[in-house]
Amino acid sequence: MTVTLNNRRDFTLENLKRVAISGESIRISRSAKKSMNQARRSFMAYLNSDRSRFIYGTTSGAGQHASQRLSPKQQKVMAQQRNRVAPGGGFGPDYLPERVVRMIIFARLTNYIEGHAKTRSIESERIAQMLDNPLAKVPLSGQTGAGEILPLAHVMSHIPRGNTEEAEPMARVNGSPVSTAVLCDVAMSTQNRLALAYQIFSLSIEAYGAPLAPYSASLLRYSQSRYEKHAIRSLRYWLNKAPTTGRLSHQAPVSWRILPPVLAAVEEAYSTVLESAEISLQAVTDNPVYILPTSQNPLGRVISTGGYHNAQAAPAIDNINARYADLCTLADRHTMKLHSAEHLPPNLAAPDGESYGTAILSFLQVGYGEEARLAAKRSFLPASEGGGIAGQNDVASVSVFAYQKHLRSAFCLEASLALLATSASQALWLTKRKPAYRLATILEQIRDLVPPVTTRTNRNLGLELNSLQQHFETNINIV
């Protein structure tokens, strides 16, 4: 299958998913090519009407050379000479997931599709073709600079060979498609990770025998917050027809009762990242950007902008990281309480097993929580003006930095949920109880990978838990 792009409205999460996750190719439609070539012609007429006019990177130098004007001859020569993007300089042990590199390539085309990149349509086809070739490996480290030139250099260095003309080299590496891609990846994976969190925390509610009152439909009708409503509704979905007998006769600890407000904050963070992803996908962020011809400006016009700086991405991703850390904290507390509750077997130990049972799960939570809290540190705009030579590129974009932390944060949450899931499974097994029927499938998956524990002798619990975390991760990233 191939995704056909006609205009900016085709830049949807659905199409992005087809390209990035399902591995589909992209076809640029005939009408889109016509629009681009038409825009290119009017741009060239605009350029030729006054080649002394400032057009960043076309009639002027780039970066610290922005104040230098180029002669028409120099303009042509520079465009021709820059027909290859030099590979990026960042390096490090870890790389952007391949799906994210595909997302960057998809998002790269937004500027082009309606002609705002002021290039010939062949440029857009070259970019689309990159999806069918071996992809660039983009290091996660060393990508924090002004705009997104640093990561884009890695990606665009793989563009198929071909000549370039005025304005085309700059369009390849300007704009903010990397922010768009990481926003989209965080949005899509958070949706699935949040769905998993609802299941595991519902399982924990069942395992503890916590009263169902804090998730009452009365609160659903009472709240004015759609996020709280969503959180309560989701918990109620998984707890539907949960046994009402045999539960704790008094209220559960705070960490169970505050699940709706804590999950509501995750819902809000998710809603924000999703909204930003959708806005960014359809945003034209080139610098300089070509404003298409109007009756007032029949040749169109070119303006310098700050489009290459997506100011929504890092705060939105940071919020998700913070909420993941909070969920780790709740999972830690639940794991601890499941192992120390008066109404459950001490240490969740089997009667014929070792007395310390699965208490190690509670020990393990601490480290993942601490790591998650470290990953939740803010991605402020850096104080350093590194690269801001001659005063131009004086503020760096931190989207990839926020995303780098997100990958760690996501792993920690999955690990923490794996520990809680195992604890809940153990508690239900020991007390011979079944959870609400919708939780049966997840419980089965948990027990397939980490069977209930009688003795840890001859079992490598670490490997089993790791396989459960990986099972969660796989389902989150491929669905």
Partner 1 sequence: MTILLNDFQDLTLSNLERIAHSREKVRFGSTALTRLQAAHTEFKQFVKDNPQQFIYGVTSGYGPNAKHKISAKERKRLENLGMPFIGLSFADDYLPETKVRAMVFAILALFLRGGAAVNKNIAQDLAKSLDGDMPRIPAGGLTSPGEILPLFYLMRLLPDPSDHRLQASTGNTACCTVGMASVAAIETNRRLIVAQKAFALSYDAMQAPLEHIDPALKALWGDPFEARAIDNLSALLKETQNDNRRPFQAPVSYRILPRLLGQALRSSERLSVTAEESLQSMVSNPIFFPEGSGSKVEAISTGGYHNSLLPQALDGMAMSWVDLAEIARRHIIKLHKGPISRLPDRLVRDGDTFRTGRTTSYIEFVAADFIDEMKRWAEPSLLSPGEPGASEQDDINAMGYIACRNEARVAILFDRVMALLAAVSSHALAISDRAAPINLQNFTREVRRDFPPVNKKRELGKSAEKLTNRLSTAIEHGDSVLTKRIV
* Window 303 to 322, contacts with partner 1 (CB under 8 A): 303-307, 309-312, 315, 318-319, 322
Spatial distance between the Cα atoms of 304 and 58, rounded to a whole number of angstroms:
12
How crowded is residue 223: how many other Cβ atoms within 10 Å of its Cβ?
A: 17
Q: Choose between 12 and 454: whose C-beta lies nearer to partner 1.
A: 12
Tell me the C-alpha distance between 5 and 3, whole Å: 6
Q: Which is nearer to partner 1, 254 or 440 (CB)?
A: 254
Judged by CB under 8 A, does residue 268 bind partner 1? yes
Between 73 and 221, CB nearer to partner 1: 221
- Considering only 388, 438, 445, 470, the residue that binds partner 1 (CB under 8 A) is 388
Q: How far, in Å, CA of 230 to CA of 479, rounded? A: 21
Interface with partner 1, residue 390, by CB under 8 A: yes
Is 75 a residue that touches partner 1 (CB under 8 A)? no
Q: H/E/C letters for each residue in 258-304?
A: CHHHHHHHHHHHHHHHHHHHHHHHCCCCCCCEEECCCCCCCCCEEEC
Secondary structure (3-state) at 302: strand
Amino acid identity, residue 447?
Answer: R
Q: How far apart are CA 428 and CA 82, in angstroms?
A: 65
333 binds partner 1 (CB under 8 A): yes
Part in contact with partner 1 (CB under 8 A); list of ranges 151-159, 369-377, 419-427, 436-444: 369-377
Interface with partner 1, residue 261, by CB under 8 A: yes
> Does residue 280 sit in helix, strand or coil?
helix
Nearest to 162 by CA among 127, 212, 205, 114: 127
Report the site for partner 1 in 89-118 (rule: CB under 8 A). Answer: 116
Does position 380 interact with partner 1 (CB under 8 A)? The reply is: yes
When binding is defined by CB under 8 A, the residue of 45, 86, 381, 463 that contacts partner 1 is: 381
Kindly state the smallest distance separating residue 255's Cβ from partner 1, in Å.
5
Distances (CA, A) of 342 to 110, 212, 250, 252: 59, 19, 13, 12
Let me know: does 155 contact 138? Beta carbons within 8 Å.
Answer: yes
| Residue where the block lists tokens 């997104």 | 148
Q: What is the smallest separation between the CB atom of 154 and partner 1, expressed in angstroms? A: 21
Q: According to CB under 8 A, which one of 10, 123, 125, 228 is a site residue for partner 1?
A: 228
The answer to whether 169 contacts partner 1 (rule: CB under 8 A) is: no
Angle (deg, nearest 10), helices 360-375 and 313-340: 160
Q: Quick check: 46 and 301 in contact, CB under 8 A?
A: yes
**Can you list the positions of beta strands (E) in 63-215?**
none
* Nearer residue to partner 1 within complex by CB, 180 or 429: 180
Please identify, using beta-carbon distances, which residue of 40 and 309 lies nearer to partner 1. Answer: 309
State the minimum distance, in angstroms, from the CB of residue 408 to partner 1. 15
Distance between CA atoms of residues 4 and 32, nearest Å: 10
Q: Is residue 356 a contact point for partner 1 (CB under 8 A)? A: no
Among 45, 77, 86, 213, binds partner 1 (CB under 8 A): 213
CB of 441 to partner 1, least distance (A): 27
Rounded to whole angstroms, the Cα distance separating 105 from 288 reads 20
Near partner 1 by CB under 8 A: residue from 214, 293, 357, 435: 214
Instruction: State the nearest-atom distance from the C-beta of 101 to partner 1, in Å.
Output: 24
Task: Provide, rounded to whole angstroms, the least separation between the CB of residue 103 and partner 1.
Answer: 18
Angle, alpha carbons 454-459-463 (nearest 5°): 125
Residue 265 binds to partner 1 (criterion: CB under 8 A): yes
Binding positions for partner 1, 429-458, rule CB under 8 A: none
Contact 119, 112 (CB under 8 A): yes
Q: Please say which residue, 343 or 434, places its beta carbon nearer to partner 1.
A: 343
Is 279 a residue that touches partner 1 (CB under 8 A)?
Answer: yes
- Which CB atom, from 186 or from 283, has the smaller least distance to partner 1? 283
Question: Is residue 345 within the footprint of partner 1 (CB under 8 A)?
Answer: no
263 and 225 in contact (C-beta within 8 Å)?
A: no
**463 is a site residue for partner 1 (CB under 8 A):** no
Q: What is the DSSP letter of 62?
A: S
**Interface with partner 1, residue 13, by CB under 8 A:** no
348 binds partner 1 (CB under 8 A): no
Only one of the segments 98-106, 184-192, 264-272, 408-416 lies at the binding site for partner 1 (rule: CB under 8 A); that segment is 264-272
Instruction: Please list every residue from 41 through 70 that binds partner 1, using CB under 8 A.
Output: 54, 56, 60, 66-67
Query: What's the CA gap between 177 and 108, in Å, rounded?
Result: 5
Asked whether 113 and 26 are in contact (CB, 8 A), the reply is: no
Contact 425, 447 (CB under 8 A): yes
Under rule CB under 8 A, how many of the chain's residues touch partner 1?
Answer: 89
Q: Are 435 and 203 in contact (CB under 8 A)?
A: yes
